[in-house]
């Protein structure tokens, strides 16, 4: 026990200067970056013809008109369960991947990782690789340093602007909004959103980086619950590497303590200390170490994707379990089945989704009215939805065991016109004269039908007719 200084409860951010590396995982990550960024920036510009009355943007979240368009799918607010289902699938997908491969999401696909990677790439182009950057950081603020920093910040800012800019295109017609944005006539909300997203991208990608993952993001804390001993994560085979040392002789392990794995790590940690909270499993240290192993002519995989469960076997010099045995286990099978079940249900729902839709709401206050001649009347509110881009004639009818009459308030006959891509509410009367059985029974089943007069598309809903209940 030593008498010492006052403990420091807060610490400054330690700058990290990841070194450039190439290798299998680095290439994989470049590809994933290109694909994900490509999808993000380009999707709003894809066109999809839906007829004159509807927008021709393939992916559009039309908040003002409460519609979500995704290629051939159009989702109305009452079908929000599609979105909920997709979100649940996304969640289960993350669970599945995390239980099989640890923090793959963090290492490869999370926007925080992808954009940070992009920002580091820019940083490297402008300021040079690790050693040059360390020197620059330590150096005085002279003209050269200012120049490099300003160029770097400006490029970052441009990327951030493009990032924030792309986001708003998902919510309204992209070409039109682009014109408006440049003409300074777009809605202030568009500029505000772009400003906020530009600022966060710039800050998170340029300066906060690993701090976001370590201190701000809730996901790593949740991920721990999905991992177990069979989960494949990035780890160091210390039984092979230790004792480490620069000198190569028979008493030493394979690790030559070159610090390559530490220097490439975007989180600034040493994987040889074991699994750590900070590690996002980006696998760059695997590439770095493999490169060294090739040079000193030792087998690759001193740092590798490993399952903790294999450690005892490997230590004892026995071969590890095959990969598929780690991946295929109860937990991943359950996640996969749940994921596919919801997927199948959604696809099924998508197939039975029709362009004509109806909901029926029987009036319960009062349940029935007696007219002056003793006729019993029920009132229903019908909502008819026309999902096509042209106006259509819908005929409303009903079927029942009893002889019930139907009449639509305000309409001459049984046919109504519904405007394109909209819904209409009808007040519908169903009557049974005083001698009708339905007038005197408690309840009679009935079914409303709506049919497109032209093409015969139909939909139906069942409901009940309330009588006086005297028989």
Partner 1 sequence: MSDFETETEIDDETGVETTGHDWDGIKELNNPLPRWWLWSFYISIVWGIGYVIAYPAWPMITGATQGMLGYSTRGEVASEIARFEDQNSALTSALSAVDLNTLGENAELNHFAVAGGAAVFRSHCSQCHGSGANGSKGYPNLLDDDWLWGGTIDQIAYSIKHGVRNEVDEDAHYSEMPAFGDMLEASEINQVVHHVRSITGLENDADLASLGQPLFMDNCSSCHGDNGKGDREIGAPNLTDAIWLYGGDVESLTQTISTSRFGVMPAWGMRLKVSEINAVAAYVHQLGGGE
CA 146 to chain centre: 39
Give residues 221-240 in contact with ligand SF4 (rule: CB under 6 A): 234
Distance CA 246, CA 292 (A): 12
Residue 27: Cβ within 10 Å count: 11
Interaction between residue 284 and ligand SF4 (CB under 6 A): yes
Interaction between residue 302 and ligand SF4 (CB under 6 A): no
As given in the structure block, the two tokens for residue 80 are 């929000």
Q: Which is nearer to ligand SF4, 26 or 152 (CB)?
A: 26
Among the residue ranges 48-56, 265-273, 369-377, 413-421, the one whose residues contact ligand SF4 (CB under 6 A):
265-273
Among 120, 208, 283, 376, binds ligand SF4 (CB under 6 A): 283
Q: Which is nearest to 208 in space by CA: 8, 15, 11, 9?
A: 15
What are the angstrom distances between the C-alpha of 293 and each of 162, 195, 290, 388? 41, 47, 5, 63
CB of 283 to ligand SF4, least distance (A): 5
415-418 sheet: strands from edge to edge: 415-418, 392-400, 443-452, 458-466
CB of 240 to ligand SF4, least distance (A): 17
CB of 85 to partner 1, least distance (A): 34
CA atoms within 13 A on the CB side of 384: 29
Q: Which is nearer to partner 1, 72 or 215 (CB)?
A: 215
Q: Which is nearer to ligand SF4, 276 or 403 (CB)?
A: 276
Q: Which is nearer to ligand SF4, 230 or 287 (CB)?
A: 287
Long-range contacts of 196-200 (CB under 8 A, 24+ apart): 196/164, 197/160, 197/163, 197/164, 197/167, 198/157, 198/160, 198/161, 198/163, 198/164, 198/165, 199/160
CB of 291 to ligand SF4, least distance (A): 13
CB contact at 8 A, 205 and 37: no
- Residues whose CB falls within 8 Å of the CB of residue 215, separated by 6 or more in sequence, listed in order: none
Interaction between residue 213 and ligand SF4 (CB under 6 A): yes
Q: Which is nearest to 109 in space by CA: 166, 9, 34, 44?
A: 34
CB contact at 8 A, 442 and 399: no
What is the size of the binding site for ligand SF4 (CB under 6 A)? 23
| From partner 1, ligand SF4, none, interface partner of 282 (C-beta below 5 to 8 A by class) | ligand SF4
Chain contacts with partner 1 (rule: CB under 8 A): 1-13, 208, 211, 215, 363, 365-366, 369-374, 377, 379, 409-410, 427, 429, 434
CB of 380 to partner 1, least distance (A): 11
Residues 90-109, mask of contacts with ligand SF4 (x by CB under 6 A): ---------------xx---
| From ligand SF4, partner 1, none, interface partner of 220 (C-beta below 5 to 8 A by class) | ligand SF4
CB of 243 to partner 1, least distance (A): 18
Among 99, 112, 231, 386, binds ligand SF4 (CB under 6 A): 112
CB of 363 to partner 1, least distance (A): 7
Q: What are phi and psi of 13, to 5 degrees?
A: -65, 130
CB contact at 8 A, 44 and 169: yes
Among the residue ranges 174-182, 242-250, 260-268, 386-394, the one whose residues contact ligand SF4 (CB under 6 A):
260-268
Q: Which residues are at the interface with ligand SF4 (CB under 6 A)?
A: 105-106, 110, 112-113, 212-213, 217, 219-220, 234, 264-265, 267, 269, 271, 279-285
């Amino acid at each position: 026990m030593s008498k010492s200084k006052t403990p420091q409860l807060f610490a400054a951010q330690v700058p990290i200067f990841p070194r450039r590396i190439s290798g299998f995982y680095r290439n994989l990550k470049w590809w994933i970056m290109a694909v994900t960024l490509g999808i993000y920036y380009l999707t709003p510009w894809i066109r999809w013809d839906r007829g004159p009355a509807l927008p021709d943007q393939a992916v559009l979240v039309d908040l003002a008109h409460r519609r979500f368009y995704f290629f051939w799918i159009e989702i109305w607010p009452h079908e929000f369960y599609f979105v909920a289902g997709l979100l649940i699938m996304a969640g289960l997908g993350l669970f599945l991947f995390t239980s099989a491969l640890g923090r793959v999401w963090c290492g490869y696909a999370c926007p925080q990782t992808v954009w940070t990677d992009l920002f580091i790439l820019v940083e490297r182009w402008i300021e040079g690789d690790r050693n040059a950057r360390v020197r620059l950081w330590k150096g005085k603020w002279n003209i050269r340093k200012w120049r490099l920093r300003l160029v770097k910040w400006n490029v970052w800012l441009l990327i951030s602007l493009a990032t924030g800019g792309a986001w708003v295109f998902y919510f309204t017609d992209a070409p039109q909004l682009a014109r408006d944005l440049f003409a300074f006539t777009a809605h202030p909300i568009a500029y505000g959103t772009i400003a906020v997203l530009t600022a966060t991208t710039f800050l998170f990608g340029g300066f906060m980086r690993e701090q976001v993952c370590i201190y701000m993001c809730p996901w790593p804390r949740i991920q721990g619950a999905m991992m177990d001993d069979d989960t494949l994560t990035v780890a160091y085979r210390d039984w092979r590497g230790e004792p480490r040392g620069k000198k190569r002789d028979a008493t030493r392990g394979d690790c030559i303590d070159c610090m390559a794995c530490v220097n490439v790590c975007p989180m600034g940690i040493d994987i040889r200390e074991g699994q750590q909270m900070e590690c996002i499993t980006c696998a760059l240290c695997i590439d770095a170490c493999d490169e060294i192993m090739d040079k000193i002519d030792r087998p690759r995989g001193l740092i590798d994707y490993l399952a903790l469960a294999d450690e005892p076997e490997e230590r004892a010099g026995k071969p590890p379990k095959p990969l598929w045995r780690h991946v295929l286990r109860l937990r991943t099978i359950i996640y996969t089945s749940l994921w596919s079940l919801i997927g199948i249900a959604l696809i099924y729902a998508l197939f039975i989704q029709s362009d004509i839709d109806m909901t029926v709401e029987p009036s319960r206050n009062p349940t029935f009215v007696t007219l002056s001649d003793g006729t019993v009347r029920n009132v229903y509110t019908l909502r008819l939805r026309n999902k096509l881009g042209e106006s259509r004639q819908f005929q409303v009818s009903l079927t029942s065991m009893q002889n019930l009459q139907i009449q639509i308030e305000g309409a001459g006959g049984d046919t109504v016109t519904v405007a394109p891509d909209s819904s209409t509410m009808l007040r519908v009367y169903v009557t049974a004269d005083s001698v009708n059985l339905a007038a005197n029974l408690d309840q009679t089943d009935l079914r409303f039908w709506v049919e497109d007069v032209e093409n015969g598309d139909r939909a139906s809903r069942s409901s009940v007719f309330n009588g006086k209940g005297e028989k």
